[in-house]
């Protein structure tokens, strides 16, 4: 892998600690500064909404200003958001904490552009490996982010503000890594004969829809089930916080660990096969979850869910560059991320409501039509390609 990929790997491992830290501590910290616990999950929701609203602007400004400028600016925004979160917790300002979480969503959106920059830095035949390499960095972030809380407790007097001070330092380190090691991939000049297509034309390409739908369904279903799991396990089935945390940590590991080999599998088996495999694993996850609600069934269901997400997201991401011309990349990537992260945001926001109305089994069953619809689309698309 070229230097660009490794630079982005280390920068992402540090910068993306923001999301798991906020997911872990956002609601707990909010309960200490907000009067009604009904608002405690708002910072986490603000993170997801901030991401969904910022993915297209992140792609657009990457085209106008260059990826390096946008990446460095994103790290500075992350540093400011972290300091704002720290001060908000110290001053008991819930509005400031929600605002800081929204700004961190902007940083997460910028971080999603890292995988495209990595793929643009390598030859087309190893794009799946480059995308998978960036996903391995997420495994580091997923474990380091929550660990900032116990480490930060020794820096400041309260439980959570020290963690965000440390996070600000990680953003500074990521800024330095990008500034010193990243070079903008070569841009293709637009000629009169090769003009970018209108968005409506892009949406008419079936390959684009398959790539985006694969990543969107992977993210949406994963977020839908994962967000409900702690509530179902701890509040409804009365498992301990330790058991619940272990299931979630195992799930996060399963999301990113397969990145060590999923890029190779995509090269060997093809994108369509990997998407179908991911959808089949989602089906197995649902079956395991429906059979019983014991600790091991929760654990296995979430483990399989993590692997399914990895296959669907990396397959969709690495398929995407083959669906657009080089001069259309920013438009296509921005639209793809809008579809993906709007679906993720919808899954996260609807999860609690559906769980309350239909219960755990009902929540799992709701995902089946979505999975079958994508499966049918992939099979049809594959047949068209073979004819």
81-90, 164-173, 187-196, 244-253: least confidently modelled range: 187-196
Whether 198 shows a pLDDT value over 60: the answer reads: no
May I ask the CATH architecture of the domain 198-387? Up-down Bundle (1.20)
- Per-residue model confidence as pLDDT tens digits over 109-148: 999 889 889 988 888 888 888 888 888 888 888 788 888 8
pLDDT recorded at residue 199? 64
Percent above pLDDT 90 for the chain: 45
Give ∠ CA 115-220-129 in degrees, rounded to 5: 25
Using only C-alpha atoms, the chain has a radius of gyration, in whole angstroms, of 20
The predicted structure's pLDDT at residue 38? 64
Please give the pLDDT value at position 200: 64
pLDDT (0 to 100) of residue 34: 77
C-alpha–C-alpha distance, residues 163 and 29, integer Å = 11
Cα(104)–Cα(26) distance, integer angstroms: 12
Q: Rounded CA gap, 343 and 348, in Å?
A: 9
Question: Of the candidates 72, 61, 79, which has an alpha carbon nearest to the alpha carbon of residue 180?
Answer: 72
Banded model confidence at residue 195, pLDDT cuts 50, 70, 90:
very low
Which tops the pLDDT comparison, 298 or 332? 298
- Residue 350, pLDDT score: 83
Question: Taking the domains of the chain in order of start, what are their residue ranges?
Answer: 1-184, 198-387
Tell me the pLDDT band of 193, cut-offs 50, 70 and 90: very low
**What's residue 194's pLDDT?**
41
Highest-scoring range by mean pLDDT, 160-164, 168-172, 195-199, 243-247: 168-172
Question: What is the rounded average pLDDT for all residues in the chain?
Answer: 87
More confident residue, 35 or 212: 212
User: What is the average pLDDT across 67-82?
Assistant: 96
**Region 60-71 average pLDDT:** 92
CA dist 27 and 40 (Å) reads: 5
More confident call, 5 vs 350:
5
pLDDT in tens, 77-113: 999 999 999 999 999 999 999 999 999 999 999 998 8
Q: How confident is the model at residue 9 (pLDDT cuts 50, 70, 90)?
A: very high
**Res. 321 pLDDT band, cuts 50 70 90:** confident
- Tens-place pLDDT, residues 249-280: 788 889 988 988 888 898 899 999 999 999 99
pTM assigned to the model: 0.77
CATH architecture of the domain with range 1-184: Up-down Bundle (1.20)
Mapped to the 3 state alphabet, what secondary structure does the chain carry? CCHHHHHHHHHHHHHCCHHHHHHHHHHHHHHCCCCCHHHCCHHHHHHHHHHHHHHHHHHHHHHHHCHHHHHHHHHHHHHHHHHHHHHHHHCCCHHHHHHHHHHHHHHHHHHHHHHHHHHHCCCHHHHHHHHHHHHHHHHHHHHHHHHHHHHHCCCCCCCCHHHHHHHHHHHHHHHHHHHHHCCCCCCCCCECCECCCCHHHHHCCHHHHHHHHHHHHHHHHHHHHHHHHHHHHHHHCCCCHHHHHHHHHHHHHHHHCCHHHHHHHHHHHCHHHHHHHHHHHHHHHHHHHHHCCCHHHHHHHHHHHHHHHHHHHHHHHHHHHHHCCHHHHHHHHHHHHHHHHHHHHHHHHHHHHHHHHHHHHHHHHHCHHHHHHHHHHHHHHHHHHHC
């Amino acid at each position: 892998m070229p230097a660009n990929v490794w630079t982005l790997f280390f920068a992402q491992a540090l910068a993306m600690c923001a999301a798991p830290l906020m997911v872990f501590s956002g609601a707990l910290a909010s309960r200490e500064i907000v009067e009604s616990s009904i608002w405690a999950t708002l910072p986490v929701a603000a993170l997801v909404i901030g991401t969904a609203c910022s993915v297209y602007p992140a792609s657009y400004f990457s085209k106008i200003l260059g990826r390096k400028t946008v990446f460095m600016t994103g790290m500075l925004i992350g540093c400011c958001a972290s300091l704002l979160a720290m001060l908000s917790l110290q001053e008991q300002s819930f509005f400031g904490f929600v605002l800081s979480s929204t700004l961190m969503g902007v940083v997460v959106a910028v971080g999603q552009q890292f995988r495209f920059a990595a793929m643009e830095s390598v030859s087309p035949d190893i794009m799946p490996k480059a995308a998978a390499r960036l996903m391995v960095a997420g495994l580091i972030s997923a474990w380091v982010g929550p660990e900032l809380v116990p480490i930060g407790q020794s820096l400041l007097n309260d439980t959570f503000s020290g963690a965000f001070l440390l996070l600000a330092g990680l953003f500074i380190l990521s800024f330095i890594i990008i500034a010193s090691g990243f070079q903008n991939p070569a841009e293709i000049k637009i000629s009169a004969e090769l003009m970018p297509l209108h968005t409506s034309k892009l949406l008419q390409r079936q390959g684009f829809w398959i790539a985006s739908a694969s990543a969107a369904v992977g993210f949406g279903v994963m977020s839908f089930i994962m967000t409900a799991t702690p509530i179902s396990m701890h509040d409804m089935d009365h498992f301990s916080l330790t058991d619940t945390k272990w299931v979630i940590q195992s799930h996060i590991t399963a999301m990113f660990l397969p990145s060590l080999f999923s890029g190779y599998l995509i090269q060997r088996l093809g994108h369509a096969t990997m998407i179908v495999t991911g959808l089949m694993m989602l089906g197995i996850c649902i079956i395991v979850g429906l059979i019983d609600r014991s600790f091991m069934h929760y654990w296995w269901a979430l483990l399989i869910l993590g692997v399914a997400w990895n296959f669907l997201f990396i397959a969709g991401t690495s398929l995407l560059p083959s669906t657009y011309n080089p001069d259309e990349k920013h438009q296509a990537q921005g639209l793809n991320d809008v579809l993906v992260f709007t679906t993720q945001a919808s899954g996260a926001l609807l999860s609690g409501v559906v769980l309350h109305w239909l219960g755990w089994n009902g929540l799992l069953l709701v995902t089946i039509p979505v999975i079958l619809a994508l499966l049918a689309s992939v099979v049809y698309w594959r047949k068209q390609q073979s004819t």
